[in-house]
Structure 1
C-alpha cells in the first residue's frame, strides 16, 4: 500500500472537510468495488488453483482415495475433502 500526502492530490476544500472527522492520522481509502481484481487474477495463481482443484475432483470421481490424493498433491486430507466436496451441496 502506498501513502501519499493529501495536500499533493486533494483540493484544499476537501482536506478541510476531511479534517472535520480526522486529523494527523493515516486513513485508508479503498478502491471502488468495480476496480478490484480478484485474488490471483493478474498472476495466474487463481487459474492454476482452479485447474489443480478440477484435476483433484476428476481423480476423486475416478475412484482415487482422498488419502492418496493428499499424498499426490502434498495437501492435507481436510483440504482434499474441502476441494472434492465443494459445489456438491
Structure 2
C-alpha cells in the first residue's frame, strides 16, 4: 500500500478537521465495501490455487495416490485430503 499525503488529495478544510482528531499520526482509510477484494484477487494467487486444486483432484481421480500428491505438491496429507474433499463437493 502506498501512502498519500492528505493535503494532496483532500480539501484544506477536511485536512484541518482530521488534524483536530489525529494530528501528526498515520490514518488508515478503508476501502468502500463495494470496492473490497478478497484475499488473492489482486495478484492472481486465488485463481492459481484454484487451478492447482482442480489439477490435484483430477490426478487423484486418475489414480494418483495421496502420498504421491503430497510429494509432488509439497503439501501435507491433511491438505491433499482437504483439497480432494472440497473439489469432490464442488463438482457434485
TM-score by length of 2: 0.72
* 2:21 counterpart SS class: coil
Listed as ranges, the gaps of 5+ residues in structure 1 are none
Runs of 4+ in structure 1 displaced over 6 angstroms? none
- Residue aligning to 1:45: 45
Listed as ranges, the gaps of 5+ residues in structure 2 are none
TM-superposed deviation, 1:39: 4.1
What is the distance in 2 between the residues matched to 1:26 and 1:14?
15
| Count of residue pairs the alignment pairs up | 89
Aligned Cα root-mean-square deviation (Å):
2.5
Larger helix percent: 2
TM-score by length of 1: 0.73
